[in-house]
Amino acid sequence: GQNIDQPTEMTATEGAIVQINCTYQTSGFNGLFWYQQHAGEAPTFLSYNVLDGLEEKGRFSSFLSRSKGYSYLLLKELQMKDSASYLCAVTDNDYKLSFGAGTTVTVRA
Amino acid sequence: IAGITQAPTSQILAAGRRMTLRCTQDMRHNAMYWYRQDLGLGLRLIHYSNTAGTTGKGEVPDGYSVSRANTDDFPLTLASAVPSQTSVYFCASSGGQGGPDTQYFGPGTRLTVL
């Protein structure tokens, strides 16, 4: 099975940087996904990491350390529209996803 | 291109009633999934299908059944609904080419069982 932990809530100011950490313990690992979910909407794909290191996509970056069972999602130049829940998800040996409970980020003016 | 559609958008159901949540995708994805999302628990996998004609159990399959008669449709049935099945249900699909494909989610069905 999978055990995935991420903080419940984070608050930051518009224009700032926020880092959302995710730790996992898995019986198998084939990569880690980050999804964004606005209130009342479906999750949407943000990033995928399978190798150690940093993946950058515009204002969003995701980091993975497989040996430490650790990932983070970095949101830079925060905008009001970034207020959402961010879901960390790990794929197992059968490529099924297990999700963390999600981190709700609130961006304040 | 619609992607993934789910119906109904929301439903209030009496306990003991039978209910089928519909999910259709037009991306010709092989794999489809049903999740439920509850506050504080995140998304949990109910059932999945790697390809038409096959299904499998996820983390919380009890009280639910699925079928996959063709590539596009993956209905989820609650044979006799109970209040603990009150949740938001998301259907998802992925290419399912044997690797960790990105899953794409439908808009969800909000189900309340009284």
**Interchain proximity A87–B107, CB inside 8 Å:** no
Is B105 at the interface with chain A, CB within 8 A? Answer: yes
pLDDT tens digit string along B59-111?
999 999 999 999 999 999 999 999 999 999 999 999 865 556 889 999 999 99
Q: How far apart are CA B34 and CA B87, in angstroms?
A: 12
pLDDT tens digit string along B33-68?
999 999 888 899 999 999 999 999 999 999 999 999
Q: How far apart are CA A16 and CA A13, in angstroms?
A: 6
Residues 41 through 100 of chain A touching chain B, CB cutoff 8 Å: 41-45, 48, 50, 87, 89, 91, 95-100
Geometric angle at alpha carbon A7, from A51 and A65, rounded to 5°: 15
Residues 40 through 69 of chain B touching chain A, CB cutoff 8 Å: 40-45, 48, 58-59
